[in-house]
């Protein structure tokens, strides 16, 4: 079996050959942390979490880099001098770095709730200003960029003049781009309207600013990802991922920057995750058609009739292939809940099954395993993998009813395979498992509140917290290192 990956650059499913045998370098564009991530953003990050888990499970040693964009992302994909952070700073009356911290913390909390694994490196754009300035200098030296009025632009026409092809990823041609570029701020400084900013001069009102050879300014969004990906993964690396909407201009510009700097394509496999829609419309903050992850989990929203556990949301997302559009709806969530509950029930039942070697089984474990792994290795086809899991579910219930047989060896193998695929690869968690974490967090909050009550000498309240928990079978124990709890 060979792993096949759909490469957006070639438009074909290709056999995956890493640069270094057994190792994978993977970069995924991270969030712009100027506001809360919506459920659509979560879908893209979850798709790549599943891909990361799959690669790891298949035996690759993965270096997974996902950045945090904490500067430079403009509110418009043109080069309007309107930084998302600066805008939010005014709105919330906070320091830019307070905005960054607030939404980075929220981002991490949300991803943890959906059981996403952290990347191996999570670099920030502001932590790599030096690298971005160096890249800009290199591009000027090589004749691919020019300075204009304190900003530096990438010269797209020069790039094509040298036989390179701006538009190769998004399959756009340069004349079309020329015709479609609107007259936006900064256009007058550019040689051609399709040139993009590597470095932007900061206006006097712009708070996020750094010194550079071209005066005070801030880096361009596209350059951030080139700087961070090549620093940690090399001038050419294996996989670059992101949402479909980042293909143009963001990833197109990354390819141009990489080729112009290093005379080599920066990425071997470009992977793009498809969008989450709601009411058949792309989920997006700007149109108002969005739901925050917490609102789906608590049920505080106008779209869904009940709350849904994060594991069920995760399961629902994985029931669609990462390259397909997924429309989230109340019915889709209810169907996923049903499927998820049945899958988890089967896993419970599996533990009580005893082997029985008497008769030949109608279920061929080897064949089933091959089919499941074929799906996984066929461009990470999670819906087909899940369909195969349900064949095993049927078999488990038949075993439980005494209608099927299994040998001791096969039983062990089935348990190991299902555990690996369901919990490690798909990253699902049983609801109880997740609830235990919730209970732990809740008790920590109660312990903290009790401590506060004691500090302010409100012993009536602190005793009440202790006694009522005890009545529920939860004993608080005060020790030298603080208070712990025991579940009786
Ligand atoms: P941003 O913070 O705007 O840079 O977006 C973070 C990630 O979410 C990017 O990879 C986007 O492509 C992705 N994204 C944005 N909207 C959606 C959506 N409706 N469905 C799936 N992914 C999305
Ligand atoms: Zn990026």
Closest CA to 121 of 31, 261, 25: 25
Instruction: Categorize the per-residue pLDDT at 276 as very low, low, confident or very high, splitting at 50, 70 and 90.
Output: very high
Contact 240, 251 (CB under 8 A): yes
Which of 315-319, 337-341, 465-469 shows the lowest per-residue confidence on average (mean pLDDT)?
465-469
The predicted pLDDT at position 184 comes to: 53
Contact 414, 346 (CB under 8 A): no
Is the per-residue pLDDT at 463 higher than 80?
yes
The predicted pLDDT at position 76 comes to: 46
Q: What distance in Å separates the CA atoms of residue 365 and residue 405, rounded to the nearest whole number? A: 12
Class of residue 471 by CB neighbours under 10 A (exposed 0-12, middle 13-18, buried 19+): exposed
Q: Is 328 in the pocket of ligand 1 (CB under 6 A)?
A: no
The single residue listed with the structure tokens 């049945």 is 342
Contact 130, 199 (CB under 8 A): no
The predicted pLDDT at position 334 comes to: 97
What is the per-residue pLDDT across 355-370, written as a single tens digit (0 to 9) for each?
987 678 899 999 999 9
The predicted pLDDT at position 181 comes to: 58
Q: What distance in Å separates the CA atoms of residue 213 and residue 203, rounded to the nearest whole number? A: 16
CA of 53 relative to ligand 1 center, distance in Å: 20
Question: Distance between the two ends of the chain, CA-based, in angstroms?
Answer: 50
Q: What distance in Å separates the CA atoms of residue 198 and residue 221, rounded to the nearest whole number? A: 8
Q: What distance in Å separates the CA atoms of residue 378 and residue 259, rounded to the nearest whole number? A: 30
* Ligand nearest, relative to CA of residue 247: 1
Closest CA to 133 of 254, 215, 73: 215
Contact 99, 69 (CB under 8 A): no
CA of 268 relative to ligand 2 center, distance in Å: 16
CA of 170 relative to ligand 2 center, distance in Å: 15
More confident site: 425 or 359? 425
- Nearest atom in ligand 1 to the alpha carbon of residue 28 is 10
- Nearest atom in ligand 1 to the alpha carbon of residue 246 is 12
Q: Is 32 in the pocket of ligand 1 (CB under 6 A)?
A: yes
Q: Is 72 in the pocket of ligand 1 (CB under 6 A)?
A: no
Mean pLDDT of the chain, nearest integer: 93
CA of 235 relative to ligand 1 center, distance in Å: 25
The tokens describing 272, both together, are 């793009």
The predicted pLDDT at position 182 comes to: 53
The predicted pLDDT at position 80 comes to: 45
The predicted pLDDT at position 78 comes to: 43
The predicted pLDDT at position 42 comes to: 98
Q: Is 147 in the pocket of ligand 1 (CB under 6 A)?
A: no
Is the per-residue pLDDT at 77 higher than 60?
no
Atom 9 of ligand 1, nearest CA residue? 243
Closest CA to 405 of 417, 416, 395: 395
The tokens describing 130, both together, are 């030096």
Which of 12-21, 168-177, 199-208, 408-417 shows the lowest per-residue confidence on average (mean pLDDT)?
168-177
Atom 10 of ligand 1, nearest CA residue? 243
Contact 428, 340 (CB under 8 A): yes
- Phi, psi of 305, rounded to the nearest 5 degrees: -80, -15
What is the per-residue pLDDT across 215-266, written as a single tens digit (0 to 9) for each?
999 999 999 999 999 999 999 999 999 999 999 999 999 999 999 999 999 9
Average pLDDT score over residue span 101-116: 97
Contact 404, 363 (CB under 8 A): yes
Is the per-residue pLDDT at 56 higher than 50?
yes
Instruction: Categorize the per-residue pLDDT at 82 as very low, low, confident or very high, splitting at 50, 70 and 90.
Output: low
Is the per-residue pLDDT at 75 higher than 60?
no
Average pLDDT score over residue span 367-379: 98
Q: What distance in Å separates the CA atoms of residue 246 and residue 5, rounded to the nearest whole number? A: 19
Average pLDDT score over residue span 454-463: 94
CA of 303 relative to ligand 2 center, distance in Å: 31
Is the per-residue pLDDT at 295 higher than 90?
yes
What is the per-residue pLDDT across 140-198, written as a single tens digit (0 to 9) for each?
999 999 999 999 999 999 999 999 999 999 999 877 776 665 545 566 899 999 999 99
The predicted pLDDT at position 96 comes to: 85
Atom 6 of ligand 1, nearest CA residue? 31
The predicted pLDDT at position 477 comes to: 87
Residues near 481 by Cβ (< 8 Å), separated by ≥ 6?
A: none
CA of 278 relative to ligand 1 center, distance in Å: 14
């Amino acid at each position: 079996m060979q792993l096949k990956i759909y490469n957006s650059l070639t438009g074909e499913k290709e056999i995956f050959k890493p640069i270094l045998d057994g190792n994978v370098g993977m970069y995924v564009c991270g969030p712009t942390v100027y506001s809360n991530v919506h459920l659509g953003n979560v879908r893209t990050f979850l798709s790549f979490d599943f891909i990361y888990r799959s690669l790891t499970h298949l035996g690759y040693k993965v270096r997974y880099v996902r950045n945090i964009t904490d500067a430079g992302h403009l509110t418009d994909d043109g080069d309007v001098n309107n930084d998302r952070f600066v805008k939010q700073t005014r709105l919330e009356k906070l320091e830019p770095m307070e905005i960054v911290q607030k939404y980075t913390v929220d981002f991490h909390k949300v991803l943890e709730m959906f059981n996403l694994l952290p990347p191996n490196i999570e670099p920030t754009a502001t932590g790599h200003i030096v690298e971005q300035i160096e890249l800009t200098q290199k591009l000027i030296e090589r004749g691919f960029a020019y300075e204009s009025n304190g900003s530096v632009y990438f010269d797209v026409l020069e790039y094509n003049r040298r036989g390179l092809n701006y538009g190769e990823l998004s399959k756009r041609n340069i004349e079309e781009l020329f015709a479609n570029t609107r007259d936006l701020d900064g256009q007058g400084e550019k040689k051609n309207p399709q040139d993009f900013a590597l470095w932007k001069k900061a206006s006097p009102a712009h708070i996020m600013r750094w010194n550079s050879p071209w005066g005070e300014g801030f880096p361009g969004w596209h350059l951030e990802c080139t700087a961070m990906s090549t620093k940690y993964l090399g001038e050419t690396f294996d996989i670059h991922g992101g949402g479909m909407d980042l293909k143009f201009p963001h990833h197109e510009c990354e390819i141009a920057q990489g080729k112009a700097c290093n005379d080599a394509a920066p990425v071997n496999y470009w992977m793009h995750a498809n969008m989450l829609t709601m009411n058949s419309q792309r989920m997006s903050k700007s149109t108002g058609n969005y739901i925050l992850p917490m609102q789906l989990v608590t049920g505080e929203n106008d779209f869904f009739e009940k709350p849904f556990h994060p594991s069920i949301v995760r399961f629902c997302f994985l029931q669609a292939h990462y390259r397909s559009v997924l429309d989230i709806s109340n019915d889709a969530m209810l169907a996923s809940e049903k499927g998820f509950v049945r899958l988890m029930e089967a896993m419970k039942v599996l533990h009580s099954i005893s082997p029985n070697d008497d008769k030949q089984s109608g279920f061929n474990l080897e064949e089933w395993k091959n089919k499941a792994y074929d799906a996984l290795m066929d461009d990470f086809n999670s819906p087909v993998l899940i369909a195969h899991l349900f064949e095993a579910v049927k078999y488990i219930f038949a075993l439980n009813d005494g209608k099927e047989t299994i040998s001791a060896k096969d039983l062990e193998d089935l348990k190991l395979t299902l555990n690996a695929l369901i919990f490690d690869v798909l990253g699902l968690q049983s609801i109880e498992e997740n609830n235990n974490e919730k209970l732990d967090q809740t008790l920590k909050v109660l312990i903290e509140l009790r401590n506060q009550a004691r500090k302010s000498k409100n012993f009536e309240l602190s005793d009440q917290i202790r006694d009522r928990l005890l009545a529920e079978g939860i004993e608080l124990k005060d020790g030298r290192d603080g208070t712990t709890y025991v579940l009786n």
